[in-house]
């Protein structure tokens, strides 16, 4: 499982406060804690006004890189900001994100074409988030056509099938499961990712829903996730699920992560 650490995001009130007050220590600590908890990438999202976004991005990325070598996931709804912020990164990371919407792909794909940068692609387009799995697969098809045109290998893409609230869904996560399975069947090397917390919006005891979701989504083929790596219950669940899915010989990864105190230790 590829873990994209989600905690440095200006949409989170404590982070917004740290950004406003230029509290460098707070950001450094978040970066360090996530790296130590096993994050493969550290997501950086400014969530500030447009005219401040790029400089805030730079400030955040610099702070993260002061304390860890873990690559960055540049998280912005603006494709041009993503591309600009690549310059601040010491090593290739992930662009988070493009989609079928507007000219995002045309802005990002040419820039990352001949690099090792990876990219998150959401299955929505100018019409919004498609309601059916067929429609989402159509968006996926378009994205893959462009990826091929720019010579971006499937293994560099993280497809987000867009997980919506469970509480208003008519059929649980069946539709998303179908999409994940279909994507993996077409491109075994591609990554399927997702933000975890959307699933449990407006439900009590959200952690349980999130954990149950990760197990089922991994079973369908999700192998990347934008999550809080410091959440030990969730990380333990991920390691346990990988072992149960036969992706962990002799459970050595599970045991190793336990030994590294990533989960299951008395706090």
Residue 86's alpha-carbon distances to 112, 248, 257, in angstroms, are 9, 33, 31
Size of the site for other proteins (CB under 8 A): 4
- DSSP H/E element including 122: strand 118-125
Residues 192 and 159: beta-carbon distance below 8 Å: yes
255: contact with other proteins by CB under 8 A:
yes
Residue (223 or 248) nearer to other proteins, CB? 248
In angstroms, what is the minimal distance from the CB of 259 to other proteins? 9
By beta-carbon proximity to other proteins, the closer residue of 153 and 252 is 252
185 or 250: whose CB is closer to other proteins? 250
**In the set 252, 260, 261, 265, which binds other proteins (CB under 8 A)?**
252
Tokens of 150: 């720019």
Q: Which residue, 13 or 250, has its beta carbon nearer to other proteins?
A: 250
* Beta bridge pairs of residue 96: 75, 120
Q: Taking CB under 8 A as the rule, which mask of x and - marks residues 103-142 in contact with other proteins?
A: ----------------------------------------
Q: CB 254 → other proteins: shortest distance, Å?
A: 9
CA-only gyration radius of the chain, Å: 18
Binding mask 211-250 for other proteins (x = CB under 8 A): ---------------------------------------x
In the sheet with 72-75, reading across from the earlier edge strand, the strands are: 191-192, 157-160, 118-125, 94-100, 72-75, 41-45, 2-9, 224-227
Shortest spacing between CB 264 and other proteins, in angstroms: 12
Residue placing its CB nearer to other proteins in the complex, 212 or 243:
243
Closest distance of CB 224 from other proteins, Å: 25
How many Cα atoms occupy the beta-carbon half-sphere of 92 within 13 Å? 10
CB of 239 to other proteins, least distance (A): 13
CB 194, CB 225: distance < 8 Å: yes
Q: Which of 125, 66, 61 is nearest to 93 (CA)?
A: 61
Please say which residue, 69 or 249, places its beta carbon nearer to other proteins. Answer: 249
Task: For other proteins, give the closer residue by CB, 189 or 252.
Answer: 252
Give the DSSP per-residue string, 173-237.
THHHHHHHHHHHHH-TTSEE--BSGGGGTT-SSHHHHHHHHHHHHHHHT--EEEE-TT-HHHHHH
Residue 165 within binding range of other proteins, rule CB under 8 A: no
Instruction: Please check whether residue 137 is in contact with residue 131, taking contact to mean a CB–CB distance below 8 angstroms.
Output: no
Of 24, 48, 111, 251, the one binding other proteins (CB under 8 A) is 251
Smallest separation (angstroms) from other proteins to the CB of 250: 4
**Residues of this chain that bind other proteins (CB under 8 A):** 250-252, 255
């Amino acid at each position: 499982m590829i873990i994209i650490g989600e905690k440095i995001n200006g949409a989170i009130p404590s982070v917004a406060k740290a950004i406003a007050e230029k509290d460098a220590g707070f950001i450094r600590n978040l970066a360090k804690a996530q790296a130590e908890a096993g994050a493969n990438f550290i997501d950086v999202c400014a969530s500030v006004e447009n005219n401040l976004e790029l400089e805030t991005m730079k400030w955040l990325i610099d702070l993260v890189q002061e304390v860890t070598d873990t690559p960055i996931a540049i998280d912005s709804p603006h494709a041009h900001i993503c591309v600009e912020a690549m310059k601040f990164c010491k090593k290739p990371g992930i662009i988070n994100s493009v989609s079928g919407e507007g000219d995002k792909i045309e802005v990002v794909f040419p820039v990352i074409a001949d690099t090792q940068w990876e990219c998150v692609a959401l299955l929505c387009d100018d019409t919004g988030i498609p309601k059916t799995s067929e429609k989402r697969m159509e968006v996926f098809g378009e994205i893959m056509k462009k990826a091929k045109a720019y010579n971006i290998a499937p293994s560099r893409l993280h497809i987000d099938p867009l997980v919506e609230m469970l509480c208003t869904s008519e059929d649980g996560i069946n539709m998303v499961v179908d999409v994940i399975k279909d994507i993996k069947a077409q491109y075994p090397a591609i990554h399927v990712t997702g933000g975890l917390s959307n699933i449990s919006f407006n439900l009590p005891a959200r952690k349980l829903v999130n954990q149950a979701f990760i197990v089922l989504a991994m079973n369908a083929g999700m192998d990347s996730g934008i999550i809080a790596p410091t959440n030990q219950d969730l990380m333990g669940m991920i390691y346990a699920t990988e072992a149960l899915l036969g992706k962990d010989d002799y459970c050595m990864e599970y045991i190793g992560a336990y030994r590294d105190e990533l989960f299951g230790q008395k706090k």
